[in-house]
């Protein structure tokens, strides 16, 4: 299976649901638990930093201007990539200073046949990154929490820029969505082909989801996943956006009218809302959708 990675460190990530799910998880608040959270962040930062390295090696300024972007847009991507590399360097040195072992880079496969795909993955990674840091925040305290927050705000600047670049709202909601490690690793594992270490968090089953066609009067999000195809059945769609969780029977899977930016969609076996403390009913997902038009 393509995504048969098992990510190590992330297990105990945050004092959220995961600590109970993982018996071997280090004690909340312990040094080991803090290192687990930091290595989880480092896993994501490696992925982002590597993504920009590969993309910028592939697309030069001409590729951006050919696609109709201002020449300075590529410079923004250079800056974003530099930020991610600096996050990697800082997390690595913090982990070392705590006598931990920083996780190394993995092997990745990023869809970037053309600039459109590169931009789409960048947008997905930055918006997901914000949710990952928010979900991990409760696993940190003191100076480390401040340091992680200082990264989170920068990831949010990146996300806002990319959302606008793409013709969508840079600031769709008054709050952002916190996601737990299994949700995040499900999305990240789309891009990780192998790792020299175990990430320690099992991704959920991948979900394919698509928005209703532009201009159609349908609100139905089409969903499918391995083992359940695209059948409509007694399961539920859950939409996580802003600080909102909206549950809809999968037969309707109705995109909430106020979801006008990123939307994480999952399929669950019952209608208990998903939260950081509760994801035991997830059957597949999240898939990340963006409601809005984009040029490209
Ligand atoms: C980008 O690369 C192409 C070749 O692939 C080259 O023709 C072009 O001059 C390069 N543009 C810049 C701005 O370096
Ligand atoms: C980038 O643009 C050059 C022409 O400047 C083109 O030859 C090349 O295929 C483009 N690269 C990608 C990955 O689209
Ligand atoms: C980019 O590549 C993807 C996948 O090969 C393709 O579906 C899409 O149409 C391409 N977009 C452009 C603008 O070339
Ligand atoms: C990447 O894949 C190659 C084989 O394709 C393997 O030799 C190497 O160990 C992998 N590296 C990582 C970091 O997993
Ligand atoms: C959508 O619009 C078509 C005609 O444009 C109409 O026949 C259909 O009933 C509408 N469906 C809904 C759910 O409103
Ligand atoms: C399921 O997907 C197939 C092909 O992707 C499509 O033809 C069919 O209409 C879909 N069925 C439902 C119930 O969505
Ligand atoms: C969440 O979205 C739903 C569907 O659009 C809406 O009815 C509800 O008021 C929203 N709840 C919150 C807390 O924003
Ligand atoms: C999507 O976002 C737009 C605003 O960008 C909003 O008008 C619309 O109601 C949202 N929902 C759907 C189902 O399109």
Domains of the chain: 24-194 (1.20.1260.10), 208-290 (no CATH)
* Distance between CA atoms of residues 250 and 230, nearest Å: 10
Q: Which ligand approaches the C-alpha of residue 117 most closely?
A: 3
CB of 258 within 6 A of ligand 7: the answer is yes
Interacting residues of 211 by C-beta distance below 8 A, sequence separation 6+: 221, 255, 289, 291
Place of tokens 């040029």: 295
For ligand 2, the distance from its centroid to the CA atom of residue 112, given in whole angstroms, is 12
Mutate to test the pocket of ligand 7, among 238, 256, 260, 275 (most ligand atoms within 8 A of CB): 256
Question: Pick from 100, 81, 177, 99: which is nearest to 135 by CA?
Answer: 177
Is the entire prediction scored with pTM above 0.85?
yes
* pLDDT values of the chain reduced to their tens digit, one per residue, 296 residues: 222 222 222 322 322 222 333 345 677 778 999 999 999 999 999 999 999 999 999 999 999 999 999 999 999 999 999 999 999 999 999 999 999 999 999 999 999 999 999 999 999 999 999 999 999 999 999 999 999 999 999 999 999 999 999 889 999 999 999 999 999 999 999 999 999 999 889 999 999 999 998 888 899 999 999 988 766 679 999 999 999 999 999 999 999 999 999 999 999 999 999 999 999 999 999 999 998 766 44
Mutate to test the pocket of ligand 4, among 196, 198, 199 (most ligand atoms within 8 A of CB): 196
Interacting residues of 201 by C-beta distance below 8 A, sequence separation 6+: 6, 7, 10, 11, 13, 18, 181, 182, 185
Q: What is the CA radius of gyration of the chain?
A: 19
For ligand 8, the distance from its centroid to the CA atom of residue 259, given in whole angstroms, is 6
């Amino acid at each position: 299976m393509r995504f048969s990675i098992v990510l190590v460190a992330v297990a105990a990530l945050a004092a959220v649901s995961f600590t109970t799910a993982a018996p071997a998880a280090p004690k909340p608040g312990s040094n080991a638990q803090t290192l687990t959270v930091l290595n989880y962040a480092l896993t994501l930062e490696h992925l982002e930093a590597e993504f920009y390295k590969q993309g910028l090696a592939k697309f030069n300024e001409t590729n951006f201007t050919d696609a109709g972007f201002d020449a300075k847009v590529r410079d923004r991507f250079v800056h974003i990539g530099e930020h991610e590399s600096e996050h990697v360097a800082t997390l690595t040195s913090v982990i070392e200073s705590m006598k931990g072992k920083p996780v190394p880079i993995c092997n990745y496969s990023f869809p970037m046949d053309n600039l459109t795909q590169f931009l789409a993955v960048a947008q997905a990674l930055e918006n997901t990154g914000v949710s990952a840091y928010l979900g991990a925040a409760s696993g940190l305290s003191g100076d480390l929490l401040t340091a992680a927050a200082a990264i989170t705000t920068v990831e949010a600047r990146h996300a806002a820029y990319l959302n606008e670049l793409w013709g969508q709202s840079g600031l769709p909601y008054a709050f952002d969505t916190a996601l737990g490690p299994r949700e995040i690793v499900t999305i990240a594992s789309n891009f990780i082909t192998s790792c020299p270490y175990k990430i320690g968090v099992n991704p959920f089953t991948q979900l394919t989801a698509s928005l209703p066609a532009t201009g159609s009067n349908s609100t139905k999000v089409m969903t499918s996943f391995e083992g359940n195809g695209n059948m409509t059945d007694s399961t539920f769609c859950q939409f996580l956006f802003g600080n909102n969780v909206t549950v809809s029977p999968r037969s309707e899977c109705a995109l909430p009218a106020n979801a006008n930016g990123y939307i994480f969609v999952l399929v669950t076996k019952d209608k208990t809302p998903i939260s950081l403390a509760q994801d035991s009913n997830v059957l597949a997902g999240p898939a990340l959708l963006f409601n809005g038009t984009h040029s490209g």
